[in-house]
Structure 1
Amino acid sequence: MNKTWQEAKQVQPQIMRMLQNSLVKKRVAHAYLFEGEKGIGKHEVSHVFAKSLLCEAPIAGYEPCEECRNCKRIMSGNHPDVHYIERDGLSIKKEQIKQLQEEFSKKSVEANRKIYMIADADKMSVGAANSLLKFLEEPSDDTVAILMTEQVQRILPTIISRCQVLTFQPLSPENVKQKLIEHNLQPQIASVISQITQNVEEGLALSHDEWFVQAQKIVVKLYEVLKQNRMKALLFLQTDWFSHFKEREQLDKGLDLLLLIYKDLLYIQLDKRNFVVFQNQEEELASHALQLSQRRLADCMGTILDTKRKLSSNTNPQLLMEQLVLNLQEGS
């Protein structure tokens, strides 16, 4: 949670640029609504922005110094003028907003501003939402609200209209990878998962999912038998593949993993080995990469993508995979 301005900028450059402009031009809004999917930096940016607003010696007029009393108290979560509200059970209650209003009727204790953050703002009860609306309708000059949501469509339009809405973009694979490594995942696993999902929470769940661990091994094995002959590859589908990839969603993930292998082959050919995802198989991949033309690789990737597209229709998954194997094996 305790990110610096520069770290937050690497994750959400556009959002940080907008906040920087508002700070430098002294046009800070009374209320912000940070919206976007889970795990893309809304909470981290909220705290960095709060530090900027209350910092005693901001760098260049916007970047928190990280050293003053206000910055340190926000980092430790005990600044008396920064209030954080989250769900009480399944929702944010009316009483929580009323307590906030009472607190904000008092003079700031240590800073020239009071800041409140509301996580999961879409989970407010009707009473809480109406109370907040009244609060937003009569903003004081020294108050800044930061609302956060994954489902902006569930927030009252009248609340949205009183906020500056900032839409957070999905994380890049590199950002997802770094966040997963911060959660103690091995770089190899983090590399693979970061190419499968842009959601850090989903990525962490995948890392502990035994099905996904086995899926990676089966996909690598399929690639290996594809290099031998078509009968072995077709047999492998029957003995190993179909028993593991039973649902269409599972099969789609399997195809994503297979596509990554062929991308790795291309990266090796282009001498961009730092982009290789299946690092544990890099030497084997390098050997095979020498035997394939870039055009053949492009054809293989196109075939996998076409299979993914057909999978979303009602095409028989088993027939799709058998045809894919034949197309990939041909000329391999």
Structure 2
Amino acid sequence: MSFEDLKKYQPAVVKLLDNSFKKDRLVPIYLFAGPRGTFKKDAARYLASLILCEISGACGQCNQCLKVANGTNPNLTIIKPAGEYIKKEQIIDLQNDFGLTSETKKIFIIYEADKLTSSSANSLLKFLEEMNENTYGVLITENANRILSTVKSRCQVINFAPINRLEILGDLEDRGINTEASHIIASLTYNIEEARRMTNDNMITKMIELAIDVTLSFEARDHNGILIMFTKGKFLIEERLKSYHMMFFDMLTAAQNDKIKILINQDVDLDKLVFCETLAKNRPSLKIEQEIAILELLLEFKERLTYNVNKDLLYAQLFTEIKRC
């Protein structure tokens, strides 16, 4: 594990951990908080390598570092939710493993620490109060507000900043993804790892092509949109995973926002738009009031997706309503 992405996208976190390690000021317990995809788990493993390294701290080459990387280091314990929650029994097992006095440094990492139950959180608090000198821990969460305040008070909180979308865009383009697809995917997530996975998802590739055709059909003021959706877009209508439909609406919404930006400012930098290539060749032809009305419909129908709706009927109604704008 080279931690290249961690060092590139969270340099402030790496610097803080490095400086604390070099100055012998590491605290026993850290709380790593931030959105999904901000390399919190990588940072926790980096800290484990700093602490357990046989040479100079996270060398990446020694036996201890290699075992941290492949998840076999006996001095590193990782706890994940057992189902929906982290159970009290898991914390008791942790106490038993770490309870004995030892000169060997050990570290535990708790993923999704906000899923601690009240009983498991209280057991963890008791453990933190009685921790041995050579024991370290990291709690990881996307929602620090859900961590018991008494547990949080025992931790040094490190906040992980969201990855800038321009950085995601650059990463995708560096990987050979075409410009417009990179812009569209970067508009869908702040998670760079998720963005990379999307580039290999054939479903998303087809959705991007469909979104381009559909958004252009809005300008044509004919019935091609619904025909496109129920022929070329049949694969999506038949898709049961709601997340893909949500993502498709996000694409259409991004396109509408782009059109409105162009109508507000004819000199807008097209390279900064999500549908940069499509709208450079096909400027919006409707009035701004119509584009806004379509945007509002997209937002309304996306909200309907949160319920158990018939997808055929949903899309048919959407295109019927858009035709009236």
Q: TM-score normalised to the size of structure 2? A: 0.69
Secondary structure at the counterpart of residue 42 of structure 2: helix
Q: Which amino acid aligns with 1:187?
A: I
Cα 1:69–1:252 change in 2 (3 A) is: closer
Deviation of 1:145 after TM superposition, in Å, equals 0.8
Cα 1:271–1:310 change in 2 (3 A) is: closer
User: Does residue 85 in structure 1 map to residue 79 in structure 2?
Assistant: yes
Number of the residue aligned with 2:15: 17
Q: Is the 8 A contact 2:252 2:298 kept in 1?
A: no
Cα 1:224–1:305 change in 2 (3 A) is: closer
Cα 1:252–1:81 change in 2 (3 A) is: closer
Number of the residue aligned with 1:42: 40
Q: Is the 8 A contact 1:38 1:201 kept in 2?
A: no
Q: Is the 8 A contact 1:32 1:166 kept in 2?
A: yes
Number of the residue aligned with 2:30: 32
- Percent identical pairs in the alignment equals 28
Cα 1:80–1:218 change in 2 (3 A) is: closer
Aligned residues: 294
Deviation of 1:15 after TM superposition, in Å, equals 2.2
Q: Is the 8 A contact 2:213 2:228 kept in 1?
A: no
Output aligned runs, 1:292-311, within 5 Å: 308=295
Deviation of 1:118 after TM superposition, in Å, equals 0.8
Q: Is the 8 A contact 2:101 2:132 kept in 1?
A: no
Q: Distance in 1 between matches of 2:171 and 2:117?
A: 32
Q: Distance in 1 between matches of 2:35 and 2:290?
A: 31
Number of the residue aligned with 1:126: 118
Q: Distance in 1 between matches of 2:292 and 2:55?
A: 52
Number of the residue aligned with 1:146: 138
Deviates more, 1:6-15 or 1:212-221: 212-221
Deviation of 1:90 after TM superposition, in Å, equals 2.9
Match of 2:190 among 166, 190, 198: 198
Q: Is the 8 A contact 1:87 1:120 kept in 2?
A: yes
Match of 1:240 among 222, 228, 250: 228
Deviation of 1:200 after TM superposition, in Å, equals 5.2
Q: Which amino acid aligns with 1:47?
A: R
Output aligned runs, 1:170-209, within 5 Å: 170-173=162-165, 176=168, 187-188=177-178, 189=181, 192-199=184-191, 203=195, 204=197, 208=201
Q: TM-score normalised to the size of structure 1? A: 0.67
Q: Is the 8 A contact 2:253 2:298 kept in 1?
A: no
The superposition leaves residues 35-92 of structure 1 with CA deviations (integer Å, 9 ceiling, x where unpaired) of: 223232111111011111222333xxxx622122321221122222211111223322
Q: Distance in 2 between matches of 1:225 and 1:307?
A: 12
Deviation of 1:311 after TM superposition, in Å, equals 5.6
Cα 1:217–1:173 change in 2 (3 A) is: same
Deviation of 1:27 after TM superposition, in Å, equals 1.7
Q: Distance in 2 between matches of 1:13 and 1:41?
A: 11
Q: Is the 8 A contact 2:49 2:58 kept in 1?
A: yes
The superposition leaves residues 89-129 of structure 1 with CA deviations (integer Å, 9 ceiling, x where unpaired) of: 332222222222222233547x4x21111111122233321
Can you give the 5+ residue segments of structure 1 that lack an aligned partner in the other structure? 325-332
Number of the residue aligned with 1:71: 65
Q: Distance in 2 between matches of 1:54 and 1:197?
A: 34
Deviation of 1:193 after TM superposition, in Å, equals 1.4
Deviation of 1:151 after TM superposition, in Å, equals 2.8
